[in-house]
Amino acid sequence: MKVFRTAFLLTALTLVLLTIGGAVGGRNGMTIALAFAAVGNFIAYFFSDKIALMSSGAQPVSREELPRLYEVMERLAAKANLPVPKLYVIPEAAPNAFATGRNPSHASVAVTQGLMQLMNDEELEGVIAHELSHVRNYDILISSIAATIAGAITHLAFMGRFAAIFGYGSSRDNDREGGGLTALLMLFLAPFAAMLLQMGLSRQREYAADETGARMIGQPYGLISALQKLGAYNQRIPSNIPQTTSALCIVKPLFGGGSIFSSLFSTHPPLEDRIAALRELTVTRPG
């Protein structure tokens, strides 16, 4: 069911991209839309991890510097039959973590100094299992592709609105065909639809990573405790992680000045819903 939902949301995003491309320029518009998606996906595939790590200020860390982090990561990676990701530390007090990389062989996991200071061993294990689940499920690549398609839709819609303002095409012909108003509405609504689909996909992958992480460990309690602690501290300590990278984080960082509107369009599900789903999860400890 989770695979079906992910495929559905990605397909819906692609259809919106093709539709907006057709509205902007007919068949040529669709070709332009596909070109945008292809170039964007190429960049996302090879460079999104480097961009996320650099923009967040993450620094590589050695086993000698953080043996506790390496011990947990190596144990869980072996249990999940995954290569050990490259490990990074972000020098900030707000506790958080994220995984990035196009596949398990090119994965990186970054944690903040605040997270290492605040989490006990069971909670740290829950956080790392969650991040390894993103790696195992190729969530980083899926999210990067979705963000790229959504960005292409927004750019094409802007081009379409710009063309409409300056009289591109024949508005009289469009009105005669009954498509002028529809096309105009599409140019304004398509980016909104793309944003909703992208955020729906992101929330779906967070739920899936929570479940996979709990099953990887054999119990959900460490992750539940970690999420509770992360939620409490991230309501008080602003983060320096840029908003472009925040969708990768295990919980949404605090940027200062949050609003009800921003919470309605969050890339993360409400923490209370994630915790409730974990409490209802039936997990069998591995033998």
- Provide the token pair at 255: 């940027």
Residue with tokens 């170039």: 39
Can you say how many angstroms the Cα of residue 236 is from the centroid of all Cα atoms in its chain? 23
Cβ(237)–Cβ(225) below 8 Å: no
Task: Encode 61-98: b = buried (16+ Cβ within 10 Å), e = exposed.
Answer: beeeebeebbebbeebbeebebebbbbbbbebbbbbbb
Exactly one of 92, 125, 131, 206 is catalytic; name it.
131
DSSP 262: H
Task: Determine the straight-line distance between the first and last CA of the chain, rounded to whole angstroms.
Answer: 27
Spatial separation of the C-alpha atoms in residues 220 and 284, rounded to whole Å: 10
Q: How many CB atoms lie within 10 A of CB 232?
A: 13
- Provide the token pair at 48: 């999104």
Q: Is 125 a catalytic residue?
A: no
Cβ(125)–Cβ(216) below 8 Å: no
- Residues tagged active-site: 131
